[in-house]
């Protein structure tokens, strides 16, 4: 008898299709319910048994025959074929084999998945990188997209792997106005978010066994991307002025990844003396510096600092920018500015990876920049996030006072908070206790390769983003955090 889940009721039995019959028979053949050489029910008997048409059963048998599971002969019942790969025992499940991966795949398998997505039932989530939907310029974006769609191209074809020429021209002007950064059009490569930009850099500049400089603490996914090539990290500690460039002496690395305008996560701004020292190290070692300028639009209590790329014509510097912090991380639009000697190989790599980034979104972004709508939007969300930052700082001060130290509040969309009365060992307990109370908070520990000496000390630290929250949510979240901290302190 052919066992089908759909046989439960006569009504459901009438819905049985040829695919269900095929799947059931195939599974029973592989499980040795029907042995090789054994006969299957005739199409007439099986159709009567299942309450379906004979044609439906015939279609299933013909598919099994086409795949070599059964043999069909005129005037006889279908017979199970002798399968060249054998049949599995009825009582034995198929064994799970280790996947055969490349060296690159094995390195990725060694990295535990970092899926930091919290349940939607949380009342407040201070996760960094999220933006408020109400901040998105929906009307301006819809108008820009509609204008692009209305301009029907003469043909649908693959585009320049470097990206839309119109967007690159718009970015060229915007970066000069906003960041005093000059570059040729050919140096700009549009990528699917900063993550793809980092991946291009890793694949083109690192070999297994080579070394790369990374900030500690620093951006975790940058470290993982570079390490996935087989290269080894050289962790350099940071302080209130970013990467400690004096620690580069004697380091022979192929590249250095830095966030000089707003160090992630601690928030330090690299002074001009360290910037020149870093660039001098890169020249002496024939290395490249990847400058991740991920949130330079958000400056509150400090003056804008020229990017590394604007110093000494950007020699040995690869500039990485994104709209993830201004428009939406869901849009996946970023850009690289590479030295002239790298522009062709980066364009080739981009073409091989995915041809080019989606054109409609690029053209729409270009329209926003050209019209001035993008810069007006940036000014608006800068004011909104300044207010959110002030709300968070005031709430933390009222709740914790001297029991908490806040770092990196002069710019960006997050702060680092240190609980001076909670030791490092309490960090996981604080995160878990807060989540049970309905608040999402995020430990700084995953961003550290090892414990930096005086920077971290023996205290609990959290990275708290605020750009997706209302002032009311921020106030509520801080009160919940205070209660969680008191609970953890009482347990320690």
At 469 the pLDDT is 97
Exposure on the CB side of residue 236, measured as CA atoms within 13 A: 25
Is residue 453 pLDDT above 80, yes or no?
no
At 6 the pLDDT is 44
- Lowest-pLDDT range, 15-24, 183-192, 257-266, 302-311? 302-311
pLDDT tens-digit readout, 210-255: 999 999 999 999 999 999 999 999 999 999 999 999 999 999 999 9
At 121 the pLDDT is 74
Domain boundaries, the chain: 5-80, 124-130+376-491, 152-374
Mean pLDDT of 444-466: 81
At 401 the pLDDT is 96
At 90 the pLDDT is 57
| Fold category of 152-374 in CATH | 3.40.640
Q: Which distant-in-sequence residues (6+ apart) come within 8 Å of 456 by Cβ?
A: 217, 424, 444, 448
CATH of 5-80, one of 1.10.10.10, 1.10.260.40, 3.20.20.140, 3.30.1330.10: 1.10.10.10
At 161 the pLDDT is 97
pTM flag (> 0.95):
no
Is residue 302 pLDDT above 90, yes or no?
no
CA atoms of 67 and 59, how far apart (whole Å): 13
Domain at 124-130+376-491: CATH code: 3.90.1150.10
Is residue 451 pLDDT above 70, yes or no?
no
Is residue 4 pLDDT above 80, yes or no?
no
Is residue 7 pLDDT above 60, yes or no?
no
Is residue 88 pLDDT above 80, yes or no?
no
């Amino acid at each position: 008898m052919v066992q089908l889940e759909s046989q439960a009721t006569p009504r459901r039995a009438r819905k049985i299709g040829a695919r269900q019959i095929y799947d059931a028979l195939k599974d029973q053949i592989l499980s040795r319910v029907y042995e090789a050489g054994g006969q299957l029910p005739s199409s007439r008997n099986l159709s009567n048994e299942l309450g379906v048409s004979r044609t439906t059963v015939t279609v299933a048998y013909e598919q099994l025959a086409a795949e070599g599971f059964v043999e069909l002969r005129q005037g006889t019942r279908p017979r199970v074929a002798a399968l060249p790969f054998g049949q599995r025992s009825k009582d034995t499940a198929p064994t799970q084999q280790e996947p055969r991966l490349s060296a690159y795949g094995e390195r990725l398998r060694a990295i535990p998945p970092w899926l930091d997505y919290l349940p939607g039932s949380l009342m407040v989530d201070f996760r960094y990188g999220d933006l408020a939907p109400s901040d998105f310029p929906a009307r301006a974006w819809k108008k820009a997209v509609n204008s692009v769609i209305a301009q029907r191209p003469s043909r649908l074809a693959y585009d320049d792997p470097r990206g839309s020429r119109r967007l690159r021209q718009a970015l060229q002007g915007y970066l000069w106005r906003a960041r005093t950064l000059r570059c040729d059009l050919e140096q700009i490569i549009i990528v699917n978010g900063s993550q793809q930009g980092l991946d291009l850099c890793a694949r083109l500049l690192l070999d297994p066994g080579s070394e790369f400089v990374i900030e500690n603490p620093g951006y975790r996914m940058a470290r993982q991307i570079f390490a996935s090539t087989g290269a080894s990290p050289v962790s350099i500690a940071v302080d209130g002025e970013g990467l400690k460039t004096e620690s580069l002496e004697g380091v022979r690395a192929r590249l250095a990844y830095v966030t000089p305008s707003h160090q992630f996560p601690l928030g330090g701004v690299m002074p001009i003396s360290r910037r020149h020292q870093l660039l001098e190290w890169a020249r002496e070692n024939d290395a490249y510096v990847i400058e991740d300028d991920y949130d330079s639009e958000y400056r509150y209590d400090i003056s804008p600092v020229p990017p590394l790329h604007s110093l000494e014509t950007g020699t040995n510097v690869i500039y990485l920018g994104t709209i993830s912090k201004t428009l939406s991380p869901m849009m996946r639009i970023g850009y690289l500015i590479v030295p002239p000697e790298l522009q062709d190989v980066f364009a080739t790599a981009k073409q091989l990876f995915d041809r080019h980034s989606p054109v409609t979104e690029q053209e729409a972004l270009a329209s926003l920049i050209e019209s001035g709508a993008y810069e007006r939007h940036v000014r608006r969300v800068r004011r909104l996030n300044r207010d959110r930052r002030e709300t968070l700082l005031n709430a933390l001060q009222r709740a914790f006072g001297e029991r908490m130290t806040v770092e990196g509040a002069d710019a960006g969309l997050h702060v680092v908070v240190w609980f001076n009365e909670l030791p490092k060992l309490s960090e996981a307990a604080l995160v878990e206790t807060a989540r049970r109370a309905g608040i999402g908070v995020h430990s700084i520990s995953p961003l550290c390769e090892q414990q930096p000496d005086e920077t971290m000390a023996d205290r609990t630290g959290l990275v708290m983003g605020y750009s997706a929250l209302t002032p009311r949510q921020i106030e509520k979240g801080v009160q919940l955090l205070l209660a969680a901290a008191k609970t953890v302190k009482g347990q320690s």
